[in-house]
Structure 1
């Protein structure tokens, strides 16, 4: 199977309740940069947006319950069904990344700590219901 060279084989596409607010929050909490946005015909909901963050790109859209239950956010579903794992390179400070997210309104779901697999690790839930884990090696590889 061949892949397009500039398109990652797996990409996260988040459904949120409050697309404009989510974009602003990811910019504040994670330093995201919006690279594209298209509003829905109703002029109120984000139909599609691309955000660059942590060296990756995610896609984002508002809920569209009138189309399908597949386009509902974790807030409407009663929780997230997955964790978005952010692997930070050594010596990036996981504590600082989590603290920045918390100061922007995230809730800690697993306090940052040194883990048995040799990484500094912690988890947060963003105000839109998505769970993010931050992971960085404790020592430089090689």
Structure 2
């Protein structure tokens, strides 16, 4: 008989858990649609999904992004007592960050599939090529490709200069 591990050996880290509701354009969405989108836009691999017995909503699903795990489910306000998908609460307060081989191509693919650019791709003072998007379900993602190593001293000086200039003007 095996001993049950309180913390599963393959999950000793924080796992983001997204609640999925309607799309940001107001059209129907849901966790099943989000799985399709994350697979197409980011190359995620579906590991598991569990639908509500006798229904089509997903109570739990798991996706792998490289070595990173993401949980997601449909919004169930009737069980939790509140809506918690981004569209229901006026936006997302969390940004999911992902390193990829080609930041430009990843963001371009996501935009082609309906993501909204929040910060255009650019080379940053911290050594990454970086941009951010909002996916069609309202979740924010920052996408990076590390392009150069920067010492802490260089980063401090560059940050001071960048913040002295203020935010980019639209």
Cα 1:47–1:3 shift into 2, 3 Å: closer
C-alpha distance after superposition, 1:123-142 (max 9, x if no partner): 0000000000012211379x
* Aligned counterparts of 1:93 and 1:70: Cα–Cα separation in 2: 38
Q: What is the RMSD computed on CA atoms of the aligned residues?
A: 1.9
Report how many residues are paired.
Answer: 137
* Aligned counterparts of 1:132 and 1:37: Cα–Cα separation in 2: 22
Unpaired segments ≥5 residues, structure 1: none
* Aligned counterparts of 2:81 and 2:43: Cα–Cα separation in 1: 30
Match of 2:124 in 1: 115
- Of structures 1 and 2, the one with the larger relative CO (CA 8 A, separation 6+) is 1
Give the TM-score, by structure 2 length: 0.74
Please point out which of 39, 47, 52 is paired with 1:35.
47
More strand by share: 1
More helix by share: 2
Unpaired segments ≥5 residues, structure 2: 1-5, 22-29, 151-170
Structure number with bigger Rg: 2
SS at 1:37 equivalent? strand
Match of 2:102 in 1: 93
Give the TM-score, by structure 1 length: 0.88
